Amino acid sequence: MGLLDDIRDGAIRCSSDIDGVLRQCLLLAAKLGHEPFRQWVESELNGYPDRASLPDYRIVPASIHFEVYSPGWTVKQLELSRFGGQVASR
């Protein structure tokens, strides 16, 4: 079986290791000499260098909820965005 067949089979098999499939894609990009494909695979494997280069499918809108407990009262499921910059880490 050829490299492209291996990549296709790995991509559709539920039990495949995605890192392994991406490494095969890296080999294919090198064989083809296709620099944009190689850069995309490298970014998927190792992370994108900055937020500006993130593809839209890597940005997932989400809100952060947390629970606060204090003696005498409980506030549950506050949304972090309601506090803006008022929340500090310790």
pLDDT band at 89 (very low <50, low <70, confident <90, very high): low
Which tens digits make up the pLDDT trace of 27-76?
999 999 999 999 999 999 999 988 888 899 988 887 776 666 677 776 66
Q: Where are the domains of the chain?
A: 3-49
pLDDT digits (tens, 9 = 90+) for 23-38: 999 999 999 999 999 9
Max CA separation in the chain (angstroms):
67
The pLDDT of residue 61: 80
Q: What does residue 28 show for φ and ψ, rounded to 5 degrees?
A: -60, -45
Give the per-residue pLDDT at 86. Answer: 55
Give residue 26's identity as a one-letter amino acid code. L
Rounded Cα gap, residues 44 and 22, in angstroms = 8
The DSSP output letter for 74 is: E
Asked if 64 contacts 77 with a C-beta cutoff of 8 angstroms, the reply is no
